[in-house]
Structure 1
Amino acid sequence: MKKFNFKKVLDGLTSSSAPPAKPETEITETLGSEHFQVSKTVRHGFPYQPTAMAYDPVQHILAIGCKSGSIRLFGRPGVDCHVMHDNDAAVLQLIFLVNEGALVSVCSDDSLHLWNLRQKRPAILHSLKYNRERITYCHLPFQSKWLYIGTERGNVHIANIESFVLSGYVINWNKAIELSQRTHPGPVVSLSDNPTDSTKLLIGFETGMIVQWDLKTKTAECRYACEQQTLHSLAWHHEGKQFMCSHSDGSLSVWNYRSPSKPAQVFQPHGHPAQKGSKPEACRPIMKVAWPTSRTGDPFIVFSDGLPYERSGRRPCITVMQGKSVTVLEMEYPVVNFLPVSSTPWPNDFQDPYAIIVLLENDLVVIDLTTPGYPCFQNPYPMDLHESPVTCCTYYADCPPEMIPAFYTVGSRQQKKTGFSDKNWPVKGGEWGTSTCSYPEIIITGHADGSLKFWDASAVTLQLLYKLRTSKIFEKQPLNQSTEYEEDPFAIVKIAMCCESRILCVAGTSGHVIVYRYNKVETTVDVPTLEIALVYEVDDLDSPDTDQIPPPMPPPSSSVGSAGSGGMPSPSPHHSTSSEGAEKVGSPLLKVKSGPQKMVPGYQVDLCAQLVTVEGEPPSQILCLAINSLYGLMAFGNMQGLAIVDIIQKTTLLNLGTPDLYGSADPYTRTQPRSPQRKKPPAGLGDLGEAQAVEQERCRSPTTERDESNGVCLSPTGTTRKKLADIKRNRNQPRPRMSKAHSTASMEGNGGDADSKDGSFSRSRSSSMSSLENVSAEGINCLSFTESYTRKTGPSKSRHRRPSKEQQHVTPAFFPTPTTYMVTPEHSEAFEHHKRKVHQTLSLDPVTSPCLWVGTTLGSVLVIVLNLPPQGDQRLTQPVIVSPSGHSPDVEKEERNSRKAKFTSMLNNRLRWGLMKHRTTQWDHLGTILRLKGAILAMSFLDCNGMTIPPLFAKWEDPKKKEENREAKDGQSMQRRGWQQLQHLHRQKAPSSPTTETISDRQFVVICSEKQAKVISLPSQTCAYKLNITETSFVCKADVVSIANSVCLACFLANGHIMTFSLPSLRPLLDSDFLPLADMRIAQTFSFSNCGQALYLCTPSEIQRITLAADTCESLQEMLCELFLPVDTPEGPKQSFFKGLFSSPSIVDKEELFGEAASGKASRSVAKHIPGTGGIEGVKAEAGSAMAEVQKARMALVERGEKLSELEERTEALKVGSEMYASSAHQVMEKYKNKKWYQL
């Protein structure tokens, strides 16, 4: 006899469901850790907080240094490189080794670095760190290997640029000044050698002292004492006989090289001449001056600022003077630096400048000096990324290839800026990579001014395709109201786009969502609008003795869609307990322009949904946004609740607070049900029916408008208010009785009850939830439209037995007691269709159906079933019904007929599930509820093979071609064909046998939250795999992405780690400590995409792209640009024989002056030499090419050996043959040797 086990009986009673069943067939996962490698690819945008700039006039490469220690290198359009110092010290100065493929950077931590630009990823070759003195200015003469380093103490050191070793030659400040001078001259602010005599070094000190130092004699040859204010910069004339100084009082002084006693000229370019007895006009400092000369005219004098202080409100400027011509070019931002661009690198030659590169704090401007008026070149780099602050980013890799030409076509028609120079962009160095990506990529950026920019991000470039301004449809706000709620009322917070149908949804910070459709032709339409009051108020917990029913609240009149929408009244979901609730709902923050509006080709407005203010409070920010072009539905949610909008009929389908989605299955019990003992309803409601227990079950939807005259609960799914008024209530029909049904819910993915160990509802969702006072703030954080199983199935026979005829038409328990209405003939067809759809959904056979998966900020996942009309004309007229998944498993037999009648009455009135809740009557949620720790971040669906189920879409068609196709193919559009394909591919039914013990799962849903990731099998809703991602941090962004012909779950954590997990087993594949979350901007803009690509906004003006794919990292070297190209250095100026004989100085070898033999070694305490790693990468690259050559040689050697072997074999065969021939010949000879001729 089998032993009785009491413990097993208890376990069976306490457990809610069987443990997760092992999948019948294991899915083969092809991804491994070798497929992943995190690497930065390229950075786009304007360098944030620039501090320095340099230009190579031979290689035509521009370098910009930033405060964060990063350096950006630019060449021709598409050539862009980013490097970063090991620390975050600001870059003070950049110096090119002209035409040598090297760059010197001077940082604020008193260090110098030599960068090797001859490799695709520049790296540091040498570093020199000063210990005792602070570096203020450096100078490297053309074609010299000795770098002059000025310090804060006034000393000048000299370093060998090749070895980065200090020379023993030092110019001390006390030797440079006169012996009679007792004050310190200040820091070195300028160093420059004479263009015609490299042995003469001009040293400029901050106090205005200028010293001409003779390097050979080691003495001060001349001293120039500027009586003006502080010295800022020096500039030589190319002949080397004069130099110019800029001062802090806005003046310029010109000095003759041989006349140190007084300046040859002193003038204030922007100051009025000083009258007798008065002081000159005070002007701003001139921070920098340049004195380039021209062969064809007077020399140019270019300087920054210097305007008078009295002229308030003047912008920063660059002044260009040539002869008597003075041109002031105003800039939008403060000037950081400027450089004249010439075709020769020789300082003793005519520069003939043709452009001026001006670096501003937020822009890069290049001025054309060869065109009258000095127009600017049009910047080809994507530096206008931050024209308005970026608020969100969306990345689409491997998108349809026709999207880029489509956006470029409409973008090229947009009005172009005029007034630019027609010359080619002068920065033209470098070369593009040899390979590109095989798939197109698009980046969409949303900005604070309400604009969107579409960028072509294919390969490693970024090019603007199209710009869309969402603020055009709104009226301009008065100045006194523009900052009432938001500083940027049009700022973009969420972007959702269906790439196949080209439908775009944009959510703004003022609670507005705009739906756009792509159109190639210009149109003029009224903008359809919907106003929605999305808010939830937690009711006060009433005692069980409370028996007073509050009077119903009429909805506000402001929640009615505009006439231009051609749609329905948009109901108000405001949940209130007072009769004054109508006064709480206000109007939208933004007002849409009335009347027809002209829509240019491109994205044109199809619908604008707006959240209204409640009690004077603005709507909370929209947290998630989803669109499905095949269903024609759009959904969005915030901290108050969820809204579903039909973008085809322009109506609101669902409009509920988040707790309302749970119904009686709310795990947090935010509302307490009232006592079943009810008093009579207030006056005005008694004539609606019998004042009995039926009135207790009545429900007035918070999103439904009530006609106070007859008490009819109107649904917003009709076309006009007038049509809804035609639906008359049939009072002669008796009201059937309805009883409560049992409430069931699926917990934690295993379908358990509330007592399940892994799936029970927890009163505290995480350690951060200290009490139940916080659970009321639950918002919608994630949305996903899909074709999936909406109801749980289990292995038990009782669950899968064939239902009776009555059970097949059971009405869900959440439907309230409805009233009865007459059915007009024009709606009968729609009602019959919805009957079939809902009956099919409620059948016990597991069937995939359109649904919306909803994830909340408290870790709940709910499913909403979408009952869609047939595509075509019926979709334009018949309503869409939304309802939670599930059905009532236990219904009394005597109630089935009454429930069928109620269900039919409900369909006749076209009431939606979302409109059925009232605080006095609770419905039971019987659908899917899954639970995870932390807010839900991502949801994706896999098929039985572990591959992502692609989103459903309706292919975009040109309206003209669409009409032609309709006529040619009897009106069968792409959308209808897509729907038929959907029916064929995704409508998978379970086995029809009523005695099936087990039903195989055919889908997986991958859900990722801030703490966990789960893979749920569908339709059994069992938790197949579960993973706790982190305990000490939280996930910021997560998504299921494709890589290496497979899929994985990618997560970016707040601690800077990037993690990937295989699917569906959630096996860890990658954990890289990539980037610390130093700014919330990174978390807000981080975006994963297919093919292992990702991006984030690293600075307010720069986008950083990264890759997770190892194969992309391997091919990245070929995709990156070349910065250095072998180019011959232009020849120097030619001098006449006599001029060179009498005026040219003797050439001195600097090695004899600064070398170790002549000057000795510098003190080790002055600076420390640090070897870099740049040479290693170069050596690796060279070693790789050398290995390739060796491999080729080895292969050639092997082939040669094989040929030699063949030759040897042939030779051996010939040898054997010859030996046999010789032996045969010898035998013949022996045979006939002694015979006479006649014997032969």
Structure 2
Amino acid sequence: MTQVGVSQNIGPLSSPSQNFEWRRHDNLIVFSGGMPRASYSDRNTVTIQHGSKHVVLDFTSKVIDFFVTYSTENDACESLIILLEEELVAVDLTNSEWRTIPLPYLISLHSSAVTFLTYVDDVSESIWSTLLSIGKSQTQESHSLLEWPVNGGVLKKAGDADKGVHRDLLITGHEDGSVRFWNAGSVVLSLVYTFKTNVIFIADDDPLDEPAENHAEEEEEEWPPFRKVGCFDPFSDDPRLAIKKVSLCPNTGTLIIAGSAGQIVILRLNEDAVTDKQIRVSTINIIPEKDNPDEVTYLWKGPQRLGLKGKTEEKNKITVSSPAGYQPFGIVQILPPAAVTAIALSASWSLVAVGTAHGLALYDFKSETPVFHRCTLNSNDYSSLSETPISRTKSFKKSLRESFRRIRGRSSTRHPDKHRSSKSSQSPVTPTGADRKRGGRPGENTPSNSPISPLDARPVERAIEARPTDDAMGSMVKCLHFFSTNVVHAHHAIPSLWAGTNNGTVYIFTLNVTGGTKRKNERTTAQLGKEIQLRHRAPVVSIIAINLGHKLLHVDDTPGPSGSHYVIISSEEQIKIFSLPNLKAVGKLKLTALEGSRVRRVALGQFSAGNHLETCLMCLTNLGECIILSIPDLRRQETAAIIKREDINGISSFAFTKFGEGLYLRSSSEIQRISLSTWRKTIPRCSLFLPNGTKAPVEASPIKAEKHDHFINGIPEEDEEVDDDHEDVDQDEEDGHESEDSLTKKESCGDNIKNPLSDEENSVIFNPDMSVITVDSVKDHLS
């Protein structure tokens, strides 16, 4: 294959090609660009011509470079590797259809913008194997079976083989309505399975139904013969398809997907494809009228609900066909169709709870009936429903009165010395007899009459203004959780649903869940058991129920006799621990008052040191710091700065694991993994084996090259120990930075030929083997 800088064009008045490769005896020509300037100059293309066969690969991002790999057996063209600005694409040239090769790594994470991220630990082995097999068959349908042509290096396993395998899933929701499952148990983040909700819902710009024959004729007549390649698609079909929340049960595989228009899809994993399956569509109106709950009398100004694909033969039912994989068996539509802000799943109870900015609802997907719904709006808000936060009206007198009270409160807190001086001038202090003997003066703080001693001094707390009770977003449901805990009786656990809102309110609903065959005859019921109103009215971020051993209470726990339970209620400003069922405060930590930070994420994590295992509370603040707190005294164990405080997207996308790790979006196209524990950490340990004689040994030189690092970096770095048959280069990437030894090795690297681009004082000696000097290294040095 020869690569030349000539232009290869298609038709007259074409744009010049950026790169061109030609294999004469194979009659293969590959070039980028060269499209007709009038019609296709804005397209990013790579053209492949092999005899009479001609295909133009059309990409959604800019083409950077490409190269062709060859077979080691017959030196025939094997694959085409294309580097794009947003992704990496490989094309199988041995296949007659020139299909793409699935990537083992460097998969485009942001094929569509990531809108949600969650981490699922310890997926059951049956669900894991089923997902892998279905994902593999899903890939083989649209990709080539050719193995990845670029190989090199060995990834070492940490410890035993069984210890290094973790069945962990990273689930990402995207703007185009797709949900992608990633294998996150190892160093390489590989794609396992993809589910798209646009096969269920109708988007605004879906193409009209036309005969397939007409489309085939249009594609045949089009010239040049374009083919869409790559998964990167920055354009969203409909913003209502965006995924807001995803919940997966690791034991049963039940999946809940919630979107931006109040749509909730309930799915199950099935290895076989189904055809003409009926699905019930349930509608829950969170803001019903008293006379007729099913009637909607308010005017909704936000986005409308999505339409459904499939046949509608019966009322509230649609007929769909689904391939093997996740298949829907229930759809719930929340009214008003606002974005879902919180969901909770209990697969053992067959319940799903949904929260929006207007309230919450509970749905039983076993009997396919709604259980209850509760509106969190005030009575004055029903007439002002819109896509914007609901505005509340109040009288002018009330507003003026509150303003003056706020001004008085601020002046008293800002000038405490003036009030003290006025009081002291009105009532002078006369020294006592003991003060006269010590020589103390009136008003002097002696050790005997000092109001606060240094030992009794407390941390200075910031003055935080009370949040108004009529906050516009106070009705939003922030978190939902299912627990089997002591809500009513001290030693008897019952099913319960906990909901936290944006104005610091916690609702506790007791559930009556029937099991077995009685489930069809007796409906699941729920009633409000208790209601907690936090005084500071900060948004409730998380609710966690634990037992006496500080273990998380799962929804799968069997209701019945139990020991003492505690609940950890975390708001944006403070974390409180209450004992159940009397809700007596056990511990409290004020983060905003003491440090000025606000809580963004809270989760339990297991930390181990030898045989000792401890459960701690992990907390992420808006300053990008991760704080580890002990339970139940909430003592600070460790504080680590993880994310920059300016990185709002990274903080909002952060997800904890139960083993002290965390993942977040470092940018729109990459995920950063961090570890707060030395017991469980994911570190790449790589080895690269090079044949003997691949590169000449580098002799040490006393002259240090400090001003020509770019020129010296053209020589590959090599390890100190070199075997006879091969060279082994180990690389441990813990923080993504080079070690001090490698930097010292680069500085002390010297050679035998004088650098013509430097003067005599800063001259650098190089090895006589000039093949190590590349054009890129010279360009870097000149720049």
* TM-score in terms of structure 1 length: 0.44
**Structure 1 residue aligned with 2:292:** 555
Q: SS at the partner of 2:267?
A: strand
Contact 2:467 2:538 in 1 (8 A): no
Aligned-partner Cα distance in 1 for 2:300–2:67: 63
Tell me which amino acid in the other structure corresponds to 2:59. Answer: E
Instruction: Go from structure 1 to structure 2 and tell me whether the alpha carbon gap of 1:590 and 1:244 turns closer, same or farther (over 3 Å shift).
Output: closer
Tell me which amino acid in the other structure corresponds to 2:278. Answer: D
Instruction: Go from structure 1 to structure 2 and tell me whether the alpha carbon gap of 1:768 and 1:377 turns closer, same or farther (over 3 Å shift).
Output: farther
Q: 1:534 aligns with which of 286, 289, 302?
A: 286
**Residue 787 in structure 1 maps to residue 355 in structure 2:** no
Q: 1:883 aligns with which of 520, 523, 527?
A: 527
Q: SS at the partner of 1:946?
A: coil
Indicate the percent of aligned positions where both proteins have the same amino acid: 25
Per the TM alignment, residue 941 of structure 1 is displaced from its structure 2 partner at its CA by 1.3
Instruction: Go from structure 1 to structure 2 and tell me whether the alpha carbon gap of 1:486 and 1:1015 turns closer, same or farther (over 3 Å shift).
Output: farther
What aligned pairs does 1:550-699 form with structure 2 within 5 A after superposition?
Answer: 554-555=291-292, 559=294, 581=297, 589-592=305-308, 593=310, 594=312, 595-613=318-336, 619-659=337-377
Aligned-partner Cα distance in 1 for 2:302–2:68: 60
**Structure 2 residue aligned with 1:440:** 167
**Structure 1 residue aligned with 2:8:** 269
Aligned-partner Cα distance in 2 for 1:1165–1:431: 32
Aligned-partner Cα distance in 2 for 1:934–1:1063: 22
Per the TM alignment, residue 933 of structure 1 is displaced from its structure 2 partner at its CA by 5.5
Q: 1:1094 aligns with which of 642, 659, 662?
A: 662
Instruction: Go from structure 1 to structure 2 and tell me whether the alpha carbon gap of 1:620 and 1:373 turns closer, same or farther (over 3 Å shift).
Output: closer
Per the TM alignment, residue 1106 of structure 1 is displaced from its structure 2 partner at its CA by 2.1
Contact 2:467 2:537 in 1 (8 A): no
Per the TM alignment, residue 652 of structure 1 is displaced from its structure 2 partner at its CA by 2.2
What aligned pairs does 1:226-305 form with structure 2 within 5 A after superposition?
Answer: 244-245=4-5, 252=6, 268-270=7-9, 281-290=12-21, 296=25, 302-305=30-33
Per the TM alignment, residue 309 of structure 1 is displaced from its structure 2 partner at its CA by 0.8
Q: 1:473 aligns with which of 200, 211, 227?
A: 200
Aligned-partner Cα distance in 2 for 1:525–1:1164: 71
Contact 1:529 1:607 in 2 (8 A): yes
Aligned-partner Cα distance in 1 for 2:71–2:138: 39
Aligned-partner Cα distance in 2 for 1:848–1:1129: 71
Q: 1:1022 aligns with which of 562, 565, 584?
A: 584
Instruction: Go from structure 1 to structure 2 and tell me whether the alpha carbon gap of 1:438 and 1:316 turns closer, same or farther (over 3 Å shift).
Output: closer
Which whole-Å deviations, capped at 9, do the CAs of 1:304-351 have from their partners, x for residues lacking one? 2122312337732224568x7785532313443224345799xxxx99
Tell me which amino acid in the other structure corresponds to 1:525. Answer: K
Contact 1:316 1:334 in 2 (8 A): yes
**Residue 1033 in structure 1 maps to residue 597 in structure 2:** yes
Per the TM alignment, residue 766 of structure 1 is displaced from its structure 2 partner at its CA by 9.5
Instruction: Go from structure 1 to structure 2 and tell me whether the alpha carbon gap of 1:506 and 1:769 turns closer, same or farther (over 3 Å shift).
Output: farther
Q: SS at the partner of 1:634?
A: strand
| Structure 1: 5+ residue stretches without partners | 1-236, 246-251, 253-267, 273-280, 537-551, 560-571, 575-580, 614-618, 662-669, 673-764, 792-843, 887-926, 954-981, 989-1000, 1133-1149, 1182-1240
Equivalent residues, number: 597
**Structure 1 residue aligned with 2:59:** 332
Contact 1:398 1:1091 in 2 (8 A): no
Q: 2:618 aligns with which of 1033, 1039, 1050?
A: 1050
Aligned-partner Cα distance in 2 for 1:487–1:1040: 36
Aligned-partner Cα distance in 1 for 2:98–2:695: 29
**Structure 2 residue aligned with 1:514:** 265
Which whole-Å deviations, capped at 9, do the CAs of 1:562-608 have from their partners, x for residues lacking one? xxxxxxxxxx6x7xxxxxx3777999612334242224343332321
**Structure 2 residue aligned with 1:935:** 539
Instruction: Go from structure 1 to structure 2 and tell me whether the alpha carbon gap of 1:359 and 1:779 turns closer, same or farther (over 3 Å shift).
Output: same
**Residue 944 in structure 1 maps to residue 543 in structure 2:** no
**Structure 2 residue aligned with 1:993:** none
Tell me which amino acid in the other structure corresponds to 1:284. Answer: S
Instruction: Go from structure 1 to structure 2 and tell me whether the alpha carbon gap of 1:452 and 1:766 turns closer, same or farther (over 3 Å shift).
Output: farther
Backbone CA RMSD of aligned residues: 4.3
Per the TM alignment, residue 873 of structure 1 is displaced from its structure 2 partner at its CA by 2.0
Which whole-Å deviations, capped at 9, do the CAs of 1:615-639 have from their partners, x for residues lacking one? xxxx332111001123222111122
Tell me which amino acid in the other structure corresponds to 1:396. Answer: V
Instruction: Go from structure 1 to structure 2 and tell me whether the alpha carbon gap of 1:344 and 1:1058 turns closer, same or farther (over 3 Å shift).
Output: same
Aligned-partner Cα distance in 1 for 2:145–2:300: 59
| Structure 2: 5+ residue stretches without partners | 209-235, 313-317, 380-391, 395-461, 718-735, 746-783
**Residue 395 in structure 1 maps to residue 119 in structure 2:** yes
Tell me which amino acid in the other structure corresponds to 1:790. Answer: V
Per the TM alignment, residue 472 of structure 1 is displaced from its structure 2 partner at its CA by 2.3
**Residue 318 in structure 1 maps to residue 70 in structure 2:** no
**Structure 1 residue aligned with 2:498:** 853
Tell me which amino acid in the other structure corresponds to 2:547. Answer: D
Q: 1:431 aligns with which of 154, 173, 181?
A: 154
Aligned-partner Cα distance in 2 for 1:427–1:446: 30
Instruction: Go from structure 1 to structure 2 and tell me whether the alpha carbon gap of 1:417 and 1:335 turns closer, same or farther (over 3 Å shift).
Output: farther
**Structure 1 residue aligned with 2:770:** none
Aligned-partner Cα distance in 2 for 1:935–1:1017: 21
**Structure 2 residue aligned with 1:364:** 88
Which whole-Å deviations, capped at 9, do the CAs of 1:1047-1085 have from their partners, x for residues lacking one? 221122222211111112211122111211444332332
**Structure 1 residue aligned with 2:180:** 453
* TM-score in terms of structure 2 length: 0.67
Instruction: Go from structure 1 to structure 2 and tell me whether the alpha carbon gap of 1:652 and 1:588 turns closer, same or farther (over 3 Å shift).
Output: farther
Per the TM alignment, residue 477 of structure 1 is displaced from its structure 2 partner at its CA by 4.3
Tell me which amino acid in the other structure corresponds to 1:1004. Answer: Y
Tell me which amino acid in the other structure corresponds to 1:1081. Answer: N
**Residue 1008 in structure 1 maps to residue 570 in structure 2:** yes
Tell me which amino acid in the other structure corresponds to 1:857. Answer: N
**Structure 2 residue aligned with 1:490:** 241
Which whole-Å deviations, capped at 9, do the CAs of 1:1089-1137 have from their partners, x for residues lacking one? 1111221122222222222211234xx55xx2425212245799xxxxx
Aligned-partner Cα distance in 2 for 1:633–1:1163: 65
Instruction: Go from structure 1 to structure 2 and tell me whether the alpha carbon gap of 1:530 and 1:1177 turns closer, same or farther (over 3 Å shift).
Output: farther
Aligned-partner Cα distance in 1 for 2:33–2:303: 49
Instruction: Go from structure 1 to structure 2 and tell me whether the alpha carbon gap of 1:271 and 1:405 turns closer, same or farther (over 3 Å shift).
Output: closer
Contact 1:338 1:356 in 2 (8 A): no
Contact 2:119 2:656 in 1 (8 A): yes
Aligned-partner Cα distance in 2 for 1:306–1:650: 58
Per the TM alignment, residue 505 of structure 1 is displaced from its structure 2 partner at its CA by 1.3
Aligned-partner Cα distance in 1 for 2:347–2:525: 17
Contact 1:1049 1:1062 in 2 (8 A): yes
Relative contact order, CA 8 A, sep 6+: which one is greater? 1
Instruction: Go from structure 1 to structure 2 and tell me whether the alpha carbon gap of 1:1178 and 1:417 turns closer, same or farther (over 3 Å shift).
Output: same
Instruction: Go from structure 1 to structure 2 and tell me whether the alpha carbon gap of 1:1156 and 1:331 turns closer, same or farther (over 3 Å shift).
Output: farther
**Residue 1075 in structure 1 maps to residue 719 in structure 2:** no
Contact 1:646 1:653 in 2 (8 A): yes
Aligned-partner Cα distance in 2 for 1:671–1:648: 42
Which whole-Å deviations, capped at 9, do the CAs of 1:518-549 have from their partners, x for residues lacking one? 3344444322122122349xxxxxxxxxxxxx
Aligned-partner Cα distance in 2 for 1:400–1:1096: 24
Per the TM alignment, residue 555 of structure 1 is displaced from its structure 2 partner at its CA by 2.9
Aligned-partner Cα distance in 1 for 2:705–2:192: 56
**Structure 2 residue aligned with 1:407:** 131
